Structure 1
Amino acid sequence: MATHSENQYFVPHGSVYPSILSLGLLSLISGFVFSVNHLAFGQWMMYLGAAVVIAMTFKWMGTIITENLTGKYKAWEDKSFRVGMIVFICSEIAFFAAFFGALFYMRMISVPDLAGFDVDITPYKDFLSTWPSAGPGGVVLGTEYVAPKFTAMGPWGLPAINTALLLTSGATITWAHWALIKNKRTQLVLGMLATVLLGVAFLVCQGLEYHHAYTELGLTLGTGAYGATFFMLTGFHGFHVTLGTIMLIVILIRCMKGHFTPEHHFGFEGVAWYWHFVDVVWLGLFIFVYWL
């Protein structure tokens, strides 16, 4: 059994969770591969793998919460959790930086360069230097391309509403954090509930935005460089908002159960850091994808 003191890092006893979770992931990924190759049992392998992953995630996280509530985690663990969360957020920054870099490269370098070659020596003589770009247009390498017609997604309307929703959610989770520090339980729960509702509202609005893009604007994932970067950046951000909202719901339930104290509440802080990161990324998206 594990032993623990103020000067000793807590080492949990052996667990079957990693092995079972690995099998669930193997089933999920293998099922996907079989499914795309039109094997009927692949779909059921995916469902089984997903169920195992979800079950093990809840079970494993529940064990960690129990360890925390029973006093297993002291100063050393708190420090390592904070460092781990900082490293995780830095990896997420690098993830989005790659996609923003691809957007800037195509918009500022590759598209103008391809359209700027000498018309007498380049097969790209009719390449259209426009942004948003849905494709080369004109004659490229002896083949005539007709760029699909579409309308770029503007910054106002649903994108502006989503910006207001996320900025407000950043304020409500900060309000809840202040309440936790001052041990105001009602304000804490109300602040977290408001943050969850704002996150859900953002996802609903993004779904409506995608429906509008596909059905009315002609903007799809296959609409050239613009469509690809638009949906990759906003879609992955939406995925992060979904994960963040799920984490917020878990933290809300824990707040209602009184799991956090003004002195010990890193679980709350870690999710709050993640949510503020999501807010900042959206501001970058709103400016560079929607507005400029």
Structure 2
Amino acid sequence: MASQNAKAPYYFVPGPSKWPMLTGMSLLVTMAGASAWVNSISWGPYVTVAGILAVLSILYYWFGDAIAESEGGLYNARIDNSYRWSMSWFIFSEVMFFAAFFGALFYARSISMPWLADLDHKVLWPDFAAAAHWGNTGPAGTIEPFTTMGPFWIPTINTALLLTSGVTLTISHHALRAGHRAQTAIWLFATIVLGAVFMGFQAYEYMHAYSDLNLKLTSGIFGSTFYMLTGFHGFHVTIGAIMLSVMLYRVLKGHFTPENHFGFEGAAWYWHFVDVVWLGLYVVVYWL
């Protein structure tokens, strides 16, 4: 939200829009391409990239419409409240998304592995043995040998980067509330840079895992949960950085006021959520 107009409608209802249908179609194309890609079908990567570009293009115009409505004085406190509830439920859905992966990790580590290793189930899998570290436990020939990923040093550096980014974003928010637009932009830019450095380190970590540790998505339950959790988190960091970049552009365009700036606040909520998820990942995946 950029402004709340006392003369705005009681509750603004936008007219019919083509964007939801186009977004759904683009996501369908993206998922079809991704499914073909993971099954080594030649056209999969091209369709996936085309679908992603289509989604990004549609979101650009769709969010542009919302910004134009806000800047046009069509929003009031009721719309602001609707956005807050919508963002809250969206973040809650993301919490449940990651809870499913953390649940799979917990089940594999604390339930299924001890269950398969006890005496009552030796007939089911005679060669299975629960090791001190749960990652590399498959029978010989089932899984290629690999080394599990520890917390030093890249994950620890990334933790420091994300925690620092949370501080810089909070400083930026307080600067916006105080009406200091230049400071808001500087600290917001610093937050985006820290997020970009985080992603750079994660890309290096993945290359190290594949080439030096032989840790792959096919490396048993450890490999699959490791890449699903860290990969989806990295995707969320990327989305959060894009959101903050849009907010930086809007700050520079003068769209926000100290009293009304929910667009900025919503992006900040999302970024802090990403920070909290990473803390859980850092402890559960890298340390335990």
Give unmatched runs, 5+ long, in structure 2. 1-5
After superposition, the Cα gap between the structure-2 partners of 1:147 and 1:171, relative to the gap in structure 1 and judged at 3 Å, is same
Q: Does 1:116 align with 2:122?
A: no
The structure 1 residue matched to 2:208, chosen from 209, 212, 221, is 212
**Match in the other structure for 2:19:** 17
Q: 1:126 & 1:87 partners in 2: Cα distance?
A: 46
Q: Which moved more, 1:187-196 or 1:124-133?
A: 124-133
**Match in the other structure for 1:103:** 105
**Match in the other structure for 2:246:** 250
CA offsets 1:192-227 (integer angstroms, 9 cap, x no match): 000000000000000000000000011111111111
**Match in the other structure for 1:289:** 285
* 2:9/2:74 contact within 8 Å kept: no
Q: 1:291 & 1:284 partners in 2: Cα distance?
A: 10
Q: 1:203 & 1:213 partners in 2: Cα distance?
A: 15
TM-score by length of 2: 0.90
Q: 2:248 & 2:283 partners in 1: Cα distance?
A: 31
After superposition, the Cα gap between the structure-2 partners of 1:50 and 1:127, relative to the gap in structure 1 and judged at 3 Å, is closer
Give unmatched runs, 5+ long, in structure 1. 138-143
Structure 1 letter corresponding to 2:101: F
**Match in the other structure for 1:126:** 127
Higher relative contact order (CA 8 A, sep 6+): 2
* 2:149/2:286 contact within 8 Å kept: yes
Q: 2:36 & 2:120 partners in 1: Cα distance?
A: 49
After TM superposition, the structure 1 = structure 2 runs for residues 68-79 of structure 1, keeping only pairs within 5 Å, are 68-79=70-81
- Counterpart secondary structure, 2:254: coil
* 2:150/2:286 contact within 8 Å kept: yes
Q: Does 1:224 align with 2:220?
A: yes
Q: 2:283 & 2:46 partners in 1: Cα distance?
A: 42
**Match in the other structure for 1:136:** 138
Q: 2:28 & 2:112 partners in 1: Cα distance?
A: 39
Q: Which moved more, 1:123-132 or 1:53-62?
A: 123-132
TM-score by length of 1: 0.89
Structure 2 letter corresponding to 1:11: V
Same amino acid, percent of matched pairs: 49
Q: Does 1:269 align with 2:261?
A: no
Q: CA deviation at 1:257?
A: 1.1
Q: 2:213 & 2:84 partners in 1: Cα distance?
A: 44
Q: CA deviation at 1:32?
A: 5.1
Q: CA deviation at 1:145?
A: 4.5
Q: CA deviation at 1:282?
A: 0.3
CA offsets 1:149-187 (integer angstroms, 9 cap, x no match): 221111111000000000000000000000000001111
Q: CA deviation at 1:95?
A: 0.6
Structure 2 letter corresponding to 1:93: V
Structure 2 letter corresponding to 1:266: F
Name which one, 1 or 2, has greater alpha-carbon Rg: 1
Q: 1:133 & 1:87 partners in 2: Cα distance?
A: 35
- Counterpart secondary structure, 1:10: coil
Q: What count of residue pairs does the alignment treat as equivalent? A: 281
**Match in the other structure for 2:256:** 260
CA offsets 1:79-113 (integer angstroms, 9 cap, x no match): 01000111011111111111111111111111011
CA offsets 1:38-80 (integer angstroms, 9 cap, x no match): 475x666555444332221111111111111111110110001
